[in-house]
Amino acid sequence: MKAAIISLISVYLLTFCVISVKPTIAYITASSTKYGILDIEKKCDRSVPNNGTSTSNNTNASCYALGVKGGFIDGNQGRGQFGYSLVDGCNPQHSLNYCYGYLIGYNRGYGHHTSNAEIWNTASHSGYEDGYQKGAKPSAQISCTLSIIFCGGYLHGYRLGYAYGMHYWTGYAQGEKQAYSDIKYCHEQNNPAIPGNHTQGYRSGWLDGYSDATDQVTSLTNMTLCTVR
C-alpha cells in the first residue's frame, strides 16, 4: 500500500513537472529572425511613408512594423529568462526604420519603459558601431527620418564612429603593409614602432593591422618565418 501511494505521488509530480515546463519550451522557441530577414532582403517600406503606416492594402509592411514585431518577440522572451539585452537585434545589414522599431518593440515585450534619453543613447551607440565599420559611407549619405530622437542619436554616433574609423582603417592598412614587408625580410617584431606622429585611432589600427598580419602568416605556416624579436 505504501509503495502504491509513493508510486502515485511520483506519477503526479512527474505530470506536474511536464505540464509546468511546456510553457517554457514554447516560450523560448519563438523567433524574430523572419522579420529581420524580410528587412535585410528589402521586402518592406515599398510605397510606405516614413511614419510606418501603409498607404494602401497593396503595399508591403513597413520596416518599422517588422522591427516592432521582431523586437517584441525577443523582449518578451528575455523578460525573466535571459535578461535585458539588445545585442544582435539590429546590425548594419538592417534598415534604420527596422532598428528603431526593434528598440520600441523589444522594450514593449520586456515591459521596460523607454525614455527619450535611452532612445538617443542606444541609437548613438548603434550609429558609432556602424560608422566605425570598414568601408562605411559618409554620414551625408545616411537617410533617417522616422524619429527625430532616434535619428539624431544615430547620426551623432555615426559621425564619431566614421571619423575614428577613417584613421583606424588607414592605420590598419599601413600596419599590415609594414608587417608583410618585415616578414619578407625577416624583421618582424613583437613591439613594432609606429612611424610618424598620428592620431590614437591610426595608432590603434596600425598595431592591430601589424599583429593580425603576423598572426595570419603564423597560422598559415604553423611557424614564424623568422625569429621574432
Read off the pLDDT of residues 114-123 as tens digits, 9 standing for 90 and up. Answer: 899 999 999 9
Read off the pLDDT of residues 121-153 as tens digits, 9 standing for 90 and up. Answer: 999 999 999 999 999 999 999 989 899 999 999
User: How many Å apart are CA 109 and CA 205, to the nearest integer?
Assistant: 39
DSSP string covering the chain:
-HHHHHHHHHHHHHHHHHHHHHHHHHHTT---HHHHHHHHTT-S-SS--TTS--SSTTSPPPHHHHHHHHHHHHHHHHTTTT-S--TTTS-TTS-HHHHHHHHHHHHHHHT-PPPHHHHHHHHHHHHHHHHHSTTPPPGGG----S-HHHHHHHHHHHHHHHHHHHHHHHHHHHHHHHHHHHHHTT---SSPPPPS---HHHHHHHHHHHHHHHHHHHHHHTS-SS---
User: How many Å apart are CA 166 and CA 203, to the nearest integer?
Assistant: 12
Residue 186 scores a pLDDT above 90 = no
Average pLDDT, the chain: 80
User: How many Å apart are CA 185 and CA 168, to the nearest integer?
Assistant: 26
pTM, 2 dp: 0.73
Give every CB contact of residue 35 below 8 A, 6+ residues apart in sequence. 66, 67, 69, 70, 73, 98
Read off the pLDDT of residues 42-83 as tens digits, 9 standing for 90 and up. Answer: 899 875 455 544 444 334 589 999 999 999 999 998 887 777
